[in-house]
Amino acid sequence: DGGITQSPKYLFRKEGQNVTLSCEQNLNHDAMYWYRQDPGQGLRLIYYSQIVNDFQKGDIAEGYSVSREKKESFPLTVTSAQKNPTAFYLCASSLQVQETQYFGPGTRLLVL
């Protein structure tokens, strides 16, 4: 089946710990994105990547880092510098930027 997968579904982080969220797509899309959603809110862009080995900051990049070493993979690391990481994280991809975006099922991150 073609699509976008995210893992894990739930993730718990201790204070001062870095955690990495996985996003994989087999749609052969060039562009990939990470969004954060807080309860009752819309989505805000963290980072996006137009092509392999390239990525750009979104609106709320502080405390996050990404890499794009392979076309199908765009992992997000939530660093200890992110002081309020509890949120729902959604990954998306599109054939190219400004085309239709398709979303994965999301990862819920909770801080212990």
Q: Contact 32/92 with Cβ under 8 angstroms?
A: yes
Note whether 62 binds other proteins by CB under 8 A. Answer: no
Which range touches other proteins (CB under 8 A), out of 20-28, 45-53, 65-73, 77-85? 45-53
- Dihedral angle sign, alpha carbons of residues 1, 51, 53, 32: negative
Q: Contact 19/108 with Cβ under 8 angstroms?
A: no
Site for other proteins, residues 64 to 103, rule: CB under 8 A = 88, 90, 92, 97-103
Interface with other proteins (CB under 8 A): 33, 37, 41-45, 48, 50, 56, 58-59, 88, 90, 92, 97-103, 105-106, 108
